[in-house]
Amino acid sequence: MTIENTNTPGSTSGWAALPWSRLDGPVGLELAGIDVRQLAPEIIHAAIAEAQLLVFRDQRLDPLALTEFAARLGTPEQYPYANPLHDAPYVVPIIKEPEDRANFGGDWHTDTSYLEQPPAFTLLLAVETPPTGGDTLFADMYGAYAALSPRLQEWLDTLAARNVSGMVHDSGGAHAAVAGAIRGNRAAKAAEAVHPVVRVHPVTGRPALYLSRIHSEHFIGLTREESVPLIDYLQNFAVRPERCSRLRWAPGTLAIWDNRCLQHYPLNDYHGHRREMHRIILAGERPRGLFEAPRDA
């Protein structure tokens, strides 16, 4: 079914007038029976601001159509650590073959937080899915921050963390095996960036926890040894089950998520089966904290 959209762009009634349901859990909105290309970008942006994650089913988007749709929502960027499709330079195939063991992004994270301007949104389209398994979990980083004690919040508000690509992408990195599975680009330059640990969302103005165990190396002004227990604590706290929604994919499922207020975790529970996704990232801004935390050391 195609829906002719006559809603006022940007108003809540824009998406609220569509057939929507919440995912089980605190984040995510599924919009049923819609060809995403019929929706005004303003409606999609308003819905993501509300729900952090949008899910559409049964989308028929070849790589070119996916790119065209993405370019209406934002500015597609090339992802430096994996090779795109030949004829669609912004579309990265994320493939796990039956014989592969590791999966791409296989731990809790927010995308590419070691860049000065990490992507605001990631679009992921399921092309082939295993008979069971291969779901992706999403955790609410507004909720994680809000659930911390006020005195810890106050301290974290002043902290910045150094986020480093090498913790994942170096040959000795935690996820080195994955690079093979996605035909990774080992020649990509190492990247690192210092970002506030509490990030103010540029659209909603809400504070969200912004760090991850696989990217955050240490807090500025603390040693790695001092930082690790706190990073571990915050990572585990952030992704407690009550903060998670779970997305079950099928071919044609398209997810669009906001990296500024979510973490995600693709489950690796389908060995022996193939899973293929097409991925595009959209440019974001430099993360802003509640105030300008120190960015050196």
CA-based nearest residue to 5, from 29, 33, 28: 33
Q: Which of 94, 120, 125, 193 binds ligand AKG (CB under 6 A)?
A: 94
Instruction: In angstroms, give the least distance from the CB of 221 to ligand AKG.
Output: 30
Name residues whose C-beta falls within 8 Å of residue 11's C-beta, 6 or more positions apart in sequence.
46
Of 105 and 196, the one with the shorter C-beta distance to Fe ion is: 105
CA-based nearest residue to 7, from 52, 39, 29: 39
Contact between 140 and Fe ion per CB under 5 A: no
Pattern 206-225, ligand AKG, x by CB under 6 A: --------------------
* Whether 126 contacts 252, CB under 8 Å: yes
Of 118 and 207, the one with the shorter C-beta distance to ligand AKG is: 118
**Cα(251)–Cα(57) distance, rounded to whole angstroms?**
8
Binders of ligand AKG among 128-157, rule CB under 6 A? 136
**Cα(36)–Cα(25) distance, rounded to whole angstroms?**
23
**Cα(275)–Cα(130) distance, rounded to whole angstroms?**
6
Kindly give the pairing relationship between strand 244-247 and strand 254-258.
unpaired
Of 134 and 207, the one with the shorter C-beta distance to ligand AKG is: 134
| Stretch of residues binding ligand AKG (CB under 6 A), selected from 38-46, 104-112, 145-153, 177-185 | 104-112
Alpha-carbon Rg of the chain, whole angstroms?
19
Of 136 and 227, the one with the shorter C-beta distance to ligand AKG is: 136
Contact between 181 and ligand AKG per CB under 6 A: no
Of 7 and 259, the one with the shorter C-beta distance to ligand AKG is: 259
Instruction: In angstroms, give the least distance from the CB of 195 to ligand AKG.
Output: 18
* Whether 176 contacts 170, CB under 8 Å: yes
**Cα(28)–Cα(40) distance, rounded to whole angstroms?**
19
Helices (H), the chain: 12-16, 41-51, 63-73, 141-146, 150-157, 166-169, 176-181, 224-238
Pattern 110-129, ligand AKG, x by CB under 6 A: -x----------x-x-----
Contact between 105 and Fe ion per CB under 5 A: yes
Contact between 258 and Fe ion per CB under 5 A: no
SS3 58: coil
Of 94 and 127, the one with the shorter C-beta distance to ligand AKG is: 94
Contact between 239 and ligand AKG per CB under 6 A: no
Contact between 119 and Fe ion per CB under 5 A: no
Q: Which of 30, 77, 111, 258 binds Fe ion (CB under 5 A)?
A: 111
DSSP 142-193: HHHHHTS-HHHHHHHHT-EEEEETHHHHSTTSTTHHHHHHTTB-TTSPP-EE
Binders of ligand AKG among 240-279, rule CB under 6 A? 264, 266, 277, 279
Instruction: In angstroms, give the least distance from the CB of 111 to ligand AKG.
Output: 5
Residues at the contact surface with ligand AKG, assessed by CB under 6 A: 94, 104-105, 111, 122, 124, 136, 264, 266, 277, 279
Residues at the contact surface with Fe ion, assessed by CB under 5 A: 105, 111
